[in-house]
Amino acid sequence: MNTSPAVQTPSTKVLRNMNPRFSSSRRNLAPVLMTVVFAAVAHAQGTIDFSGANTLLGSFKTFAIFAGAVIAFGSLIFAGIRMMGGRFNEAVPGLFGALFGAAVLGWGAGWINSLTGQSIP
């Protein structure tokens, strides 16, 4: 049984001795890199083009209308099937789901307006 420590080749000695130098240089370069990144972001401020925002928000509005209709209709079907089976207590979540779907359908565009600050055509 060999209990001697692992054999160290010259290359592992070199790598082990290089690690402290690399870690200290990383610590020294981190503030410089952060400063360069923040300067680049600050320089780019105000150059973003929002000309397609109305088109995107119109798509969000269409999705909100579609999603609200699907939620409301699906929940009403779920509640109706439960009620026809005589399980009225199990139909209540479906009715609340239909109410939520109607809220998304009615207020979806307003929610998108308030979150983005953009007016939707």
pLDDT tens across 77-111, in order?
A: 989 998 898 888 888 988 999 998 888 888 877 77
* Backbone dihedral angles phi then psi of residue 8, each to the nearest 5 degrees: -105, 120
11 & 62 share domain:
no
61 & 12 share domain:
no
- 2 domain residue, yes or no: no
58 & 27 share domain:
no
For residue 18, give the amino acid letter: M
Q: Higher confidence at residue 54 or residue 9?
A: 54
62 & 102 share domain:
yes
pLDDT tens-digit map of 37-90: 877 777 666 666 667 777 777 788 888 888 888 989 999 998 999 889 888 888
- 62 domain residue, yes or no: yes
43 & 57 share domain:
no
- 121 domain residue, yes or no: no
Our count of domains for the chain comes to: 2
Cβ atoms < 10 Å from Cβ of 79: 20
pTM, entire model = 0.50
Range of the domain at 31: 7-48
- What pLDDT, on the 0 to 100 scale, is given for residue 110? 77
83 & 100 share domain:
yes
- pLDDT-derived band at 32, boundaries 50, 70, 90: confident
97 & 59 share domain:
yes
Nearest to 64 by CA among 22, 118, 107: 107
